Amino acid sequence: MSILHTISKSPFQNQSLSSCVAHASSGDAILMIEDAVYGAVSGTAAAAQLAEGENISIYALGPDLSARGLGEAKLAEGINIVDYDGFVELAVEYDKTQSWL
């Protein structure tokens, strides 16, 4: 049973991202939306935590990155950028969607 985890809050604001990484299983995906996209920035503690996940795909919502001035050059390696269509495709691809508060 594969799960798409969505995180919407900045890793500088609460512990959702690190809780999510701790709970996600091999074969799951994590999608950062809204303020959570700050977790995709290279050099942050959050990006390092995300990189530790084994066989967990990491995504960030492109429009929310752009709205915050975060171009691809600022992101950590291994972050896949998707738009809203891509978000829908991920929701279809994975068996369940878990929204972290």
Partner 1 sequence: MKFGIVVNEGPYTHQAADTAYKFTKAVLEKGHDVHRVFFYHDGVNVGTRMSVPPQDDRHIQRNWSELAEKYDLDMVICIAAAQRRGIMDENEAKRQGLDGDNIAPGFRISGLGQLIEAGVQSDRLVTFGD
Distance CA 18, CA 49 (A): 7
Position 3 contacts partner 1 (CB under 8 A): no
Q: Write down the least CB distance from residue 58 to partner 1, Å.
A: 18
Position 68 contacts partner 1 (CB under 8 A): no
In a 3-state reduction of DSSP, which class is residue 5? strand
Could you tell me the two tokens for 87? 């978000």
Distance CA 12, CA 1 (A): 30
Q: Write down the least CB distance from residue 8 to partner 1, Å.
A: 7
Q: Write down the least CB distance from residue 36 to partner 1, Å.
A: 10
Position 84 contacts partner 1 (CB under 8 A): yes
Position 99 contacts partner 1 (CB under 8 A): yes
Burial classification of residue 50, based on how many CB atoms lie within 10 Å of its CB (0-12 exposed, 13-18 middle, 19 or more buried): buried
Q: Which of 21, 33, 40, 46 binds partner 1 (CB under 8 A)?
A: 33
Distance CA 63, CA 68 (A): 9
Interface residues toward partner 1, by CB under 8 A: 6, 8-9, 33-35, 63-64, 84-85, 87-89, 91-92, 96-97, 99, 101
